[in-house]
Each structure stands twice: as C-alpha cells, then as structure tokens.
Chain A
Amino acid sequence: MRRLWTVLAALATLSLTNCGYNAIQTNDEQVKSSWSEVVNQYQRRADLVPNLVNSVKGFAQQEKDVLLGVTNARAKVGSIQATPEVLNDPGTFAKFQAAQGELTSALSKLLVVTENYPQLKSDALFRDLMAQLEGTENRITVARNRYIKSVQDYNVTIRSFPTNLTAIAFGYKEKPNFTVENEKEISTAPKVDFNPTPAAPAK
C-alpha cells in the first residue's frame, strides 16, 4: 500500500509538470527578474540626475525652468515604489510608466538646451555624465525589451491551452506590458519651423 502511494505521488508530480504549472512558475519568475532589471536601470538614471543638474547649473543658470522640470520629474519618480507587486496592478504600473516617461522628456529637453552652451559641452565632467546617461538610457531600452519578451512568454503560457486551465485554477493573471509613451506625438507629423530661434544666451 505504501509503495502504491509513493508511485501515485511521483505520478502526480510528473503530471503537474505536464499541465504547465512549472512553466508558469518559470515564466513568472522570469518576468519578475526582468522587471527588477528595468527598475534597477531606471534607478541608475535617477541617481545620475542630481549630478547632471548640478553640472548644468554651473554653466547655464538661466535655464531655470528646464532644470526645475528635471528636478520635479526626478522627485516624482522617486516617490513611486516599484516593487514586483506593481506588475499585478495595472493602475500603478501605468503611473510608474508615466512618471518615468516624464523624466525621459524632461531630460531630453535639458539636452536640447545644453546644445546652446559650448563651454558646458566641452566640460570634462559634463561629458562623462553624458556618457553615463547615454549608457544608462541604452540599458533601460535593453531591459525594457527583455521585460517585454518575458511578459510575452508569460502571457502566451497562461492563455494557451491547456496551461490556461492551470493558470485559472491557481489565479495567475496576465501581466501588463510597456506601451509607447508618446503614441499621439508619433502619429502627428512633426512641424518644421524656419523662424529664427532666439540667439544663444551669452555665457
């Protein structure tokens, strides 16, 4: 009798692996770790911002609005806790994404402004910070791509038969994915303005 139970238990374990329970676990963990990498790289960017703002401030004090915009966006990013639980709450996920998108656009505005300050652009510290920022933005892109792929794997697993039955039984839901942040901006054609831009402020 005991032997029979041993065999039955072994068979039950094997059948669990067949119904996709383990696949769901693997994919779920994959999603979590790639999400952590996304957050990690966003954090790295947020850590760079104060130094960047300081180095720009030394050369371009006039650009108060832009600098303030970056600082505010950075503060907003810092106020959102990006734990893996965010993934189960589409609302928080969207908020997180919106905050990071705001920082992205604030930073790109700052970079446009710095074009007007040749002295700043040749400053060694600023160049190093720019190299770090570029590298970090690229890491964010890579991390987001990997997250998108892992969510795709996960969602496909819990939506396809027969693993969807297991997913329903254990309460696994689809995870949110990244969308293009500026969908509207992309769909409208860019305007070309030939009016002379205001002259670069004197240093």
Chain B
Amino acid sequence: MKFGVIVFPGSNCDIDCCHAVKDVLGREVEYVWHDAEELDDFDCIILPGGFSYGDYLRCGAVARFSRIMEAVRAHAAGGKPVIGICNGFQILTEAGLLPGALVRNKNLKFICDTVPLRVEANDTPFTGLYEKGEIINIPIAHGEGNYVVDEATLKKMKEKGQIIFTYVDNPNGSMENIAGVCNEEKNVLGMMPHPERACEEILGNTDGRRLFESIISALEGRLKDE
C-alpha cells in the first residue's frame, strides 16, 4: 500500500502529510512533483494544504491545470481514494472533481484554530472508523474556507450523503456549516480542516488519526478483495 502526496509549487503541508502517513502510521509514502504524468504506483493520493502558485488568482485556480491533475482525475475515476486537504480541497473543487467552491471567510481574515467537527457520514473510505454523529476536534488554517454551492447541487449532495464533515460552531460562514464533502462515488474527499495536524499526543490531539487509519483499513479490505 502506498500513499502519494502531490507537491505543487507553494504546497506547505506536504511534509506534514508525509510525516503522518510514514512516521505516525508506518505506511509507505512518496512525494509526487506536480509535472509528473502518472500515479499508477499509488493507492491513495493526498493533495496537501498550502498556497499553490501563491493562490494569487483564486485558490487552486492555477494548480488545477498542472500536468499531474490528469493523473489525479484518472486515479479518482478508477475508484481509488483521493483526499484534498485545505488547499487540496480548493484545487479539487476548481478541477471539478468535487462540487461547490471555497470563498473568503466571512470575517475576511485568516483563521487558525482547533474546532469541533461533526462526522456526518461514516460510509466512506475516509471515515469508516468514526461513529456517525461523533464530534472530533481538528485544526483549521485558512483564509478561504467558506464553502458555497448552488441550491440544486446541495439538495442532490444531501440526498446522496456527500456531506461528510460539518462545523459545530461555524467559523468561516460555510453554507450548512459544511467542512468536508465527497463526490457521489465517495472516493474523493475534500475538507478544509487538517487531520494531519491531529495525529500525535505530543501535539495535544489525535482525533485526525482515525481518518488515515480509515483509509488504510479501507485499502486493506480492497487489496484483499483484489
């Protein structure tokens, strides 16, 4: 089982994701440069947080045109898990792999804090080890995490169970308190909070660890099936 962490110019949380997967969970992981062409060797792809291309035009708007995104698209189409965290989430929405968009926080300021989230669904490869309705504390750090989506899509997302995490106390103005969503097939997840920052006792928080453990457990099941 191997994780791949995509590195765009301006990615910052690539190291943190690698550390969580490799040093905390003991799984194989590699950095993948943004102009690589294929991801065949990988079982799960992580698009990390940061400021890809400086986020100057619009968060994720340039990164979505990176060469690697075609491979990410193919990886997702093959039903394999893809997770976008923070800037990674923004890139996935820009790339059309997830519905909706992320706009400026309601208070117009960057917010770094640890906030309670509600796990809305555990029938995904990312949340299998959480209880549905469980409250977990996960750090956020973003200036543009205010989730918006059109009413029709939102309705459909609700029907299909695509809302995965919601904020208990909405910090950024997101519609319906949305913190994380997935695609219809539930193998692509995007979330603004940073589970990789909550994997170790020494950092005072291990609530994010089960997200990675869920992925590992889902992949192990899948690999066994194959």
Instruction: Please indicate whether A and B come from the same complex rather than being unrelated chains.
Output: no
